[in-house]
Structure 1
């Protein structure tokens, strides 16, 4: 007996979904958070055997409504995600001719350098 149910192929428009990330510093830790998700919709297309196509076609108006309603919900969920730690800047110890030199950064600053993220800081050498 053939399988009966509904089936849809789902994709987003546009594909891929665009988003923006904000980067910040907290102490010596660099963090990122998704600050903006570009608008998108989920497009659903019925799939499967003939019986599945008929049932999926009958439920298609509901599926299309979900395709429009779900993206804003997903966007809200993404905006509630906590900041993601990218890296923690640690002191760097090097041995030069038998002497250990420790470079300790402080006061991290994020800036733009030719379209790239630059992290700069004050340093102390001991």
Structure 2
């Protein structure tokens, strides 16, 4: 995926995961990685920052597979922040879809319209 597309939206994705249930860092990365190419170097700084801004709180939970895991839990402040970002995203993506879909939603349709426009210019 294009790095420019990912910039800024990863935070909303992390919030979207934690609005549903508490998760530990590796679990968050695994869920994101199913759909977006991300790394620990991207996610852990976001988790630290959002925790320091009181959007998340953390707690340790024993694990059957080794050391206790640090879980992230969304706070009420985090939920309000999530709703704000989600609203901004929905408004932004709605505008983007409106612009890029003007020629149609299918690449073949867009190509056909573009080719017709180019042919018209050649005959002018």
What's the TM-score bracket when you normalise by the shorter of the two chains? under 0.3
TM-score, normalized by length of structure 1?
A: 0.27
State the structure with more CA Rg.
Answer: 1
TM-score, normalized by length of structure 2?
A: 0.27
